[in-house]
Structure 1
Amino acid sequence: MQPTTDPRLILLSPEDNCLIAAARLAAGETLMIEGEAVTLATTVDLAHKLARHALSKDDKVLRYGAIIGHVNVDVARGEHLHTHNLESDYIPTYTHDAGHTYVQH
């Protein structure tokens, strides 16, 4: 029997170490990830990624079974994976802040 995972989280491939939010998930909400209750520290928007399990700095992130980048800090299970802690290994990552564009390498 598979451990319980909230139905609002999608696993695209069995090799993946991230899950995809099928709905907007509010900060402070508790949900199940593979049988473990996890309380979200931040809001996770629709189609954004969450860590399927804890990741260590420089671990590769897999989506659809393919490497999409690496985490630049340690990441807890259920933590939002986005430009603040995930870097592409293939293209520059652009962020916007007060009308300025920054490139993260």
Structure 2
Amino acid sequence: MAIDAIMLNPADNVATAVQVLKAGQKADVRLGHDIKQVLIGEDIPYGHKIAVYSIRKGQDIIKYGEVIGRATQDILAGHHAHVQNIESLRGRGDLQKEA
């Protein structure tokens, strides 16, 4: 079975496309030995992130079990999660670390 995208941690809410994904396609997303099917809502380039679950505006984007950013708008499951709808939280001087 060909894998279309991969997640590395059960806490992740995005997966990485390991091939070009087309709108309307049912993509097989692998997490360990488990496979989850996600209906792709828009074309996703190779190597880019897709939302595996719907993500609300302001919600953390989690990849590799780590927060890598925050959604700047709602991202529907199966849609592209990238710079157009994610803001980075790393390296920003305006955010204070919580004590």
Class of the TM-score when normalised by the shorter of the 2 chains: 0.7 to 0.9
TM-score where L is the length of structure 2: 0.74
Instruction: Calculate the TM-score normalised by the size of structure 1.
Output: 0.70
Q: How many angstroms apart in 1 are the aligned matches of 2:14 and 2:80?
A: 9
Equivalent residue, structure 2, for 1:50: 50
Indicate the residue corresponding to 2:16 in structure 1: 20
Matching residue of 1:63: 63
Structure-2 change in CA distance of 1:47 and 1:59 (3 Å) = same
CA distance in structure 2 between the aligned counterparts of 1:70 and 1:37, rounded to whole angstroms: 21
**Which residue pairs with 2:95 in the alignment?**
none
Q: CA deviation at 1:36?
A: 5.4
Alignment of 1:27-46 (within 5 A): 27-31=23-27, 38=39, 40-46=40-46
| Cα deviation, residue 41, structure 1 | 3.4
Coordinate RMSD, CA, aligned: 2.1
> Which residue pairs with 2:7 in the alignment?
11
Does the 8 A contact of 2:13 with 2:51 survive in 1?
A: yes
Partner of 1:79: 79
Q: 1:9 to 1:37 in 2, by over 3 A?
A: closer
- Equivalenced residue count is 86
In structure 2, the CA distance between the partners of 1:23 and 1:36, relative to structure 1 (3 Å rule), is: closer
Q: 1:35 to 1:15 in 2, by over 3 A?
A: closer
Percent pairwise identity: 28
Flag structure 1 segments of 5+ consecutive residues without an equivalent: 1-5, 93-105
